[in-house]
């Protein structure tokens, strides 16, 4: 006797359970299985996207901190060679450098009248020079201290270089 569906059906026997199952050689997936996979992917992506955004922000902040440390070394070497701090970042070849948000770094030679930033209302952040990135929002309020609303995300050099990081953490 011949089975008309012998090409699409086969008998599979399990050696462990001593029973046979009639199975189809169906290599596709059902619509329900596809929908379940899509729902799982949607749930995972809704959890991952905000985390990815924060990781990018932290990476940009870290890059700005590292670049400010490097600039600080270049400025210090310039001062050691010439006996004075540079007037601008272009004096040390850093005028074209942009922060991770695509804006130029801000430098002020305080000894030559540059605007000094305040870490708190009565204390200046530095007495030699200021060097900072305006952070993610691209805004800085020099009349306010580091706790000012627009200054909290700035990446600053403070304490004569003892601290480089977010203004809100100083």
pLDDT, one tens digit per residue, over 81-113 is 999 999 999 999 999 999 999 999 999 998 888
Output 60 or 169, whichever has higher pLDDT.
60
Instruction: Compute the CA torsion angle 69, 72, 74, 76 (nearest 10 deg).
Output: -140
Is pLDDT above 50 for 5? no
pLDDT, one tens digit per residue, over 24-77 is 556 678 899 999 999 999 999 998 888 888 899 999 999 999 999 999 999 999
CA dist 120 and 143 (Å) reads 11
Residue 6's pLDDT band (cuts 50, 70, 90): very low
Question: Can you list the domains of the chain with their CATH numbers?
Answer: 60-169 (3.30.700)
Is the pTM higher than 0.85? The answer reads: no
């Amino acid at each position: 006797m011949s089975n008309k569906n012998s090409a699409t059906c086969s008998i599979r026997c399990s050696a462990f359970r001593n029973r046979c199952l009639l199975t189809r050689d169906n290599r596709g997936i059902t619509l329900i299985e596809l929908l379940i996979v899509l729902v799982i992917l949607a749930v995972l992506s809704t959890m991952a996207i905000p985390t990815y955004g924060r990781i990018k922000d932290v990476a940009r902040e870290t890059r700005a901190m590292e670049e400010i440390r490097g600039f600080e070394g270049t400025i210090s070497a310039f001062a050691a060679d010439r006996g004075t701090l540079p007037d601008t970042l272009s004096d040390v070849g850093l005028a074209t450098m942009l922060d991770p948000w695509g804006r130029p770094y801000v430098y002020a030679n305080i000894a030559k009248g540059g605007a000094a930033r305040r870490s708190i209302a009565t204390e200046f952040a530095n007495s030699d020079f200021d060097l900072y990135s305006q952070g993610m929002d691209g805004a800085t309020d020099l009349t306010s201290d580091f706790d000012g609303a627009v200054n909290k995300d700035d990446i600053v050099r403070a304490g004569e270089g003892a601290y480089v990081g977010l203004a809100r953490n100083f």
